[in-house]
Amino acid sequence: MRESRLLSFIHRITAQRACLNRAHYMVRELPGPVLELGLGNGRTYDHLRLLFSDREIFVFERKIAAHPDCLPDDEHAILGDFRDTIPSALERIRAPAAFIHGDFGSANRKKTAALAAWLAPQLIPIAAPGAIVATDQYMKTQGLKRIVPPPAVVEGCYFMYRVEK
């Protein structure tokens, strides 16, 4: 039987919570801001705000449409397409990131995969050595080492990487 959309949603949000919590623990001694790539409704951003209350969190988003309680301030909202904003992100975030969360998948799998393939190498210069990346997309690039996600993550639902450079 195929996985229902309800079940895949449950898997997805379960994986998100597990990966964000795990990343929070893994970078506890690594300074640097947190990046949220894809604000959407703002659910994961809100979770990040609670976990990383002592850090700056920068949000990258094409068009803000989040819950009004989950909006970053202007300084921390970097608006535009990732292809335009990520390459120069270091100017805005000022220090390499300790944790990057990327949740940007859409119904168009082909386009999403192409975006992930473009994005992966772009993350290396804006991340600190030892930084953690958690994302809904498979990524493969020099400098990103795939690591095992928490047991709550259904295989292939979410991915975690360590930046090794």
Please give the residue ranges that form the binding site for ligand SAM (CB under 6 A): 38-44, 61-63, 81-82, 103-104, 115
Q: Quick one: 27 or 116, whose CB is closer to ligand SAM?
A: 116
Q: Rounded CA gap, 124 and 50, in Å?
A: 26
Backbone angles phi, psi at 34, to 5 degrees: -110, 140
Q: Quick one: 62 or 162, whose CB is closer to ligand SAM?
A: 62
| Minimum distance of ligand SAM from residue 124's CB (angstroms) | 18
| Minimum distance of ligand SAM from residue 95's CB (angstroms) | 22
| Minimum distance of ligand SAM from residue 12's CB (angstroms) | 9
Q: Quick one: 36 or 124, whose CB is closer to ligand SAM?
A: 36
Three-class SS state of 71 = coil
| Beta strand segments in the chain, E | 34-37, 57-61, 77-79, 97-102, 127-135, 144-147, 159-163
